[in-house]
Amino acid sequence: MEFNCCDVLEVQGSRYIITEKIKYNEIIPKADQEQAYKAKPSMQKSPGDYWHEYGLEAVEGTDKIWVTIEYNDNAWCTVSRTSYRKRAPKGFTLHQIGLEKVVDVDGDSGASVGDRAGYKEYQLPCEGGASVFFEENWFKGEKMFAEGSRVPLVNIRLCNDAAAQAIKKKMRNKSMKKRFGAIAGGVGYGVLFLLFLFWSDNDLSWHSIRAMFGVPYTAKEHMHDTSAYYTKTDSDSDYVYTSTLDPVSTALDLIDSVNGDINNERDNLEEGHEVIVFYSGDLVYLITNTDGQTKVKVCEQSKLTQEDWKIIDRTVISSHILDNYATIVRLRDKTGRERLYPTEGSGNTSNTKLYY
């Protein structure tokens, strides 16, 4: 007779649900610490004998029991509960001794495949069976004790009525949620571990984390988050910004915001008439000095006007200064600006000059 996790059993008139199932094999003692579990053949199982131990919880109430069924015993099983006794009660005699190994585990269990324990079973014959006391000495350092009785298998019944099926379904759903939670937790720890590795070699930020998951921080978000940029309420386009920085400083700031990921950069750095164009992803960045104000247009190529294209077409010179700066940013070199231009006063950001 064999049952499975989530089965509802009636045990001596009360209903329980199986929350764990453990299969044991009898093994031959070999190591020194196992020799204490050798005994005369009449008190030992044969190597390879196996049995199942089921952990059950009461459908109503808090009672927890163990049901142990041996593969070659079709008449009897053992029903027991955890005991706080450290030795067999008076009158009990040693009935069986041996060495067990866990070979299979299912459900919510503290046992693991490969765990081994020496065990001793004491019995006190009584009317209708026998009282039993178990002692298990797990080689991972734990001792467990249980006491109960031998019970005819006819007193163990599998329940399949509607109420039992509803309890079984509820238990399965609970187990699935717990397993999913464990998997999700494992994935979460894995992600944290990867972030830790990433952090150890890089300057980790929320933007870097987003980029790792394929959602990079955009320059448009940066402009919305930075006080140096604003859009006029009467602007006919929400992707045209005014920058309080000069055109070169604006370009450097935007290159920083996209981690240097630009291409096809071209510029005209004539003071007072600066035009800087570059591409990043699907967007075009057009930075111009218009009547002394720095204008920034960020949009897809399809949204560029004819006037925009004329400005871009006239800007055919590339000094490679900004391209070189973008390369330095991609290499995570923090000295990029110092290498490309000197700064005169920490508060002066309105007259930046590149030297080349």
DSSP 3-state assignment of 48? coil
pLDDT at 319 over 90: no
Confidence band for 164, pLDDT divided at 50, 70 and 90: very high
The secondary structure of 156-204, three-state, reads: EEEECCHHHHHHHHHHHHHHHHHHHHHHHHHHHHHHHHHHHHHHHHCCC
Per-residue model confidence (pLDDT) at position 26:
93
- Residue 74 vs residue 34, higher pLDDT: 74
Separation between Cα atoms, residue 292 and residue 200, nearest integer Å: 44
- Residue 189 vs residue 314, higher pLDDT: 314
- Residue 129 vs residue 350, higher pLDDT: 129
pLDDT at 343 over 60: no
DSSP 3-state assignment of 220? helix
What percentage of residues in the chain have a pLDDT greater than 90? 41
Per-residue model confidence (pLDDT) at position 350:
41
Separation between Cα atoms, residue 356 and residue 39, nearest integer Å: 92
Mean pLDDT, residues 24-52 taken together: 81
Rounded to 10 degrees, what is the CA torsion of 279, 283, 289, 295? -160
Per-residue model confidence (pLDDT) at position 160:
94
pLDDT at 108 over 70: yes
pLDDT at 175 over 80: no
Per-residue model confidence (pLDDT) at position 349:
44
- Residue 183 vs residue 195, higher pLDDT: 183
pLDDT at 191 over 80: no
Separation between Cα atoms, residue 98 and residue 39, nearest integer Å: 8
pLDDT at 337 over 80: no
pLDDT at 346 over 50: no
The length of the chain, given as a count of residues: 356
In this prediction the pTM is: 0.53
pLDDT at 339 over 70: no
pLDDT at 312 over 70: yes
DSSP 3-state assignment of 346? coil
Of 291-300, 303-312, 336-345, give the lowest mean pLDDT range: 336-345
Mean pLDDT, residues 23-45 taken together: 78
Per-residue model confidence (pLDDT) at position 63:
93
pLDDT at 150 over 90: yes
User: Which pLDDT tens digit goes with each residue over 238-291?
Assistant: 578 899 899 988 999 999 888 888 888 888 888 888 999 998 888 899 999 988
